[in-house]
């Protein structure tokens, strides 16, 4: 009894414990960076596919101006950022974070050159060797855009300490969600740029929204039997404190609403601008909500080796 007078009981790592470093307090910056990673890389890849220079520029600016700065500001020692770059470190051999930062820096360099060359090829010297160089530079640009879009999935899936993340499905979910986000932003560009084929973007978007919902459903279902802690995370999404964000933000706003609008425009023949803007808005809310619930549902296994089930 005397012991209880001065020793405080607490649930830290006795019960499943949520990671807070990447979502609470300054960790909100990581969440913001993840959202813009998805939007930027997705938009760049979609713009490459639809050959839209303005989309590529917007994707590039999102990555370099809205994704990279929050990541750097989040660091405890941002001015030591250079230590993460090759050749100043060889951590890229094992660390997905190092790889990701380097992918982003290379993306920033290569795509900048590609955008300049592309602009000259379109507006200054059309039909010349500049076009060839533009196409050549799009290959590494596209590869790096893909890597920038997927690396955060690998960062998270590498963590065996967080069973909900520790699955190969996570990188796939993030890249597919990113491309779907990119399609939504492409629609937004299409509202002002008449060269964008709205119906083609909507067609791809319909398919990817369906793929997205299948992947998310499989991911959450899979989590229910990986381990007790992963199931705990999944239950937080399905009927726990994250359920409103999951069901309203991710599923309803992010997937169902854009899908319904897209399908209705398919049957009605053409989508009106207000309807498109609504779909884009809903989808962006979904993108923000998806990153939030993924980071927030990152739960560590309890530290104790035995009888942990007793604490669930």
| 151 is an interface residue for another protein by CB under 8 A | no
Task: Select the residue interacting with another protein from 78, 239, 268, 273 (CB under 8 A).
Answer: 78
Q: How far is the CB of 95 from another protein (least distance, A)?
A: 5
86-145 residues near another protein, rule: CB under 8 A: 88-91, 94-98, 101
Neighbours of 119 (CB within 10 A): 15
Task: Indicate the residue among 3 and 192 with the shorter CB distance to another protein.
Answer: 3
| 16 is an interface residue for another protein by CB under 8 A | no
Task: Indicate the residue among 47 and 102 with the shorter CB distance to another protein.
Answer: 102
Task: Select the residue interacting with another protein from 113, 122, 143, 159 (CB under 8 A).
Answer: 159
| 37 is an interface residue for another protein by CB under 8 A | no
Q: How far is the CB of 268 from another protein (least distance, A)?
A: 47
| 73 is an interface residue for another protein by CB under 8 A | no
Whole-angstrom CA distances from 33 to 72, 74, 295, 302 are 9, 10, 12, 29
Q: How far apart are CA 179 and CA 185, in angstroms?
A: 10
Q: How far is the CB of 223 from another protein (least distance, A)?
A: 17
Per-residue tokens: 77: 């020692």
Task: Indicate the residue among 73 and 217 with the shorter CB distance to another protein.
Answer: 73
Task: Select the residue interacting with another protein from 37, 84, 205, 284 (CB under 8 A).
Answer: 84
203-262 residues near another protein, rule: CB under 8 A: none
Residues forming the site for another protein (CB under 8 A)? 3-4, 7-14, 17, 19, 21-22, 26-27, 74-78, 80-81, 83-84, 88-91, 94-98, 101, 155, 158-162, 298, 300-301, 303-305, 310-311
């Amino acid at each position: 009894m005397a012991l209880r007078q001065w020793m405080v009981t607490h649930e830290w790592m006795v019960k499943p414990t949520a990671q807070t470093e990447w979502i609470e307090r300054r960790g909100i910056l990581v969440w913001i960076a993840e959202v813009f990673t998805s939007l930027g890389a997705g938009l760049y890849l979609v713009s490459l596919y639809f050959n839209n220079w303005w989309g590529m520029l917007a994707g590039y600016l999102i990555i370099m101006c809205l994704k990279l700065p929050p990541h750097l500001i989040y660091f405890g020692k941002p001015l030591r950022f250079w230590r993460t770059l090759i050749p100043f470190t060889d951590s890229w051999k094992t660390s997905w974070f190092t790889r990701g930062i380097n992918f982003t820096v290379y993306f920033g360099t290569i795509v900048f050159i590609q955008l300049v060359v592309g602009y000259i090829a379109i507006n200054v010297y059309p039909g010349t060797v500049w076009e060839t160089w533009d196409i050549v530079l799009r290959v590494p640009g596209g590869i790096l855009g893909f890597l920038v879009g997927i690396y955060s999935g690998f960062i998270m899936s590498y963590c065996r300490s967080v069973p909900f993340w520790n699955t190969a499905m996570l990188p796939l979910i993030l890249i597919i969600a990113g491309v779907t986000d990119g399609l939504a932003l492409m629609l937004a560009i299409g509202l002002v740029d008449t060269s964008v084929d709205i119906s083609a973007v909507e067609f791809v978007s319909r398919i990817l929204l369906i793929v997205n919902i299948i992947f998310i459903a499989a991911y959450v279902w899979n989590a229910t039997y990986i381990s007790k802690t992963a199931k705990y995370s999944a239950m937080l999404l399905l009927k726990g404190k994250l359920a409103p964000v999951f069901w309203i933000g991710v599923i309803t706003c992010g997937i169902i609403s854009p899908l319904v609008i897209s399908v209705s425009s398919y049957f009605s023949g053409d989508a009106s601008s207000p309807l498109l803007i609504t779909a884009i808005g809903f989808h962006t809310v979904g993108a923000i909500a998806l990153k939030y619930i993924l980071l927030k549902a990152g739960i560590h296994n309890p530290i104790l080796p035995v009888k942990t089930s007793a604490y669930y």
